[in-house]
Amino acid sequence: MAFCLPNMSALALRSQATVPIGVTRNQPSKKQKTVPRTKKREQEVAPERGPKSKKTKEGEGEEQEEPLDENSKAIQNRIEELLALGVKGDDPKAGWKPLRDSQDRVINLPPADPCCTGGTFAEYLPEDLRVAKAPPKPVEPRVIDDPEAWAAAQQAEKEEALLMRMRMSEEEWNAMHGDKRRKQIESIKKGLDGYKRYREHVPLKRRQDVKSWTTHPVTPDASNRRFSKRGWAGAVRTWANLVQQSWGTESEGDASRSHLRDTHSQGAPEL
């Protein structure tokens, strides 16, 4: 008859006293005892944790959506209003009937309407919510109904501007116009080939005699207040072109010098 011996290792483990991990036999356990949480204890711990975001019913771990600001709310409300308007032209009298699919969506938009609301979205937005606007239409050129009255008004403006220039003192005139015009003349003289050739062939004494010399252009006077801004620019341009035509090329220079020999009694002006 066979006998089964007991598992001696299992008996040895059962006989040993259970000791928590990390604690020796002669030392007390450091593990905190768990106290069952009561309703009163729950109320005491809740303020220490602080407010937590509520969980949504759709899924765990998702936080509640943040509230929209006033601008976003206004846009969202306006979109809902536009969607609630429906499609323009639902009236059978208009000759067009919308065709809808199984999800009640219109599948045949009217060709005249740019979108389902019957107009552009910006047209239905409030004025303060519109970000980009269409550029304004170009202004049509003004048609002069009375040319004589227009010419009289232009002449009156010219006379008024001339009176203002005449009333200026010498310091005011030089500060606003005189000094600039003199610098402009000097700059043109330095870069004009015809003027350089003119100075080489005509003595200074003859250049200073302005009254007797009439065949060549005279430098515009920067102190003449009768020149408006546009009139001064035209006078300087005409003077520079005439100087270049008379003295700019060698052939024209020879012709001018021969003319000087024939008119000994005349003097050349300061160009």
| Residue 271: CB atoms within 10 Å | 24
Measure the CA–CA gap between 202 and 206, rounded to whole angstroms.
7
Q: Cβ(76)–Cβ(69) under 8 Å?
A: no
Which pLDDT belongs to residue 258?
Answer: 47
Per-residue pLDDT reduced to its tens digit, 50-107: 554 444 444 455 555 666 678 888 888 878 777 666 555 444 444 556 677 787 777 7
Q: In which band, very low, low, confident or very high, does the pLDDT at 49 lie, cut at 50, 70 and 90?
A: low
Between the CA of residue 188 and those of 149, 181, 241, what are the distances in Å? 39, 11, 11
pTM of the predicted model as reported, rounded to 2 decimal places = 0.40
**Of residues 143, 144, 165, 136, the one with CA closest to residue 229:** 165
186 vs 89, residue with greater confidence: 186
3-class SS of residue 99:
coil
250 vs 76, residue with greater confidence: 76
**Of residues 208, 213, 271, 264, the one with CA closest to residue 244:** 271
Q: What average pLDDT does the structure give for the chain?
A: 69
Q: Cβ(262)–Cβ(232) under 8 Å?
A: no
Which pLDDT belongs to residue 138?
Answer: 76
202 DSSP assignment? S
Per-residue pLDDT reduced to its tens digit, 10-38: 555 555 555 555 555 555 555 555 555 56
Which pLDDT belongs to residue 101?
Answer: 79
Half-sphere exposure of 206 (CA within 13 A, CB side): 18
159 vs 82, residue with greater confidence: 159
Measure the CA–CA gap between 185 and 48, rounded to whole angstroms.
88
Mean pLDDT comparison of 77-91, 209-223, 225-239, highest-scoring range: 225-239
Least confident of 96-100, 124-128, 140-144: 124-128
3-class SS of residue 78:
helix
| DSSP codes joined into one string, 207-218 | HT--SS--SSPP
Task: Give percent above pLDDT 70 in the chain.
Answer: 46
Least confident of 2-11, 135-144, 163-172, 217-226: 2-11
Encoding tokens for residue 32?
Answer: 């905190």
Measure the CA–CA gap between 103 and 88, rounded to whole angstroms.
19
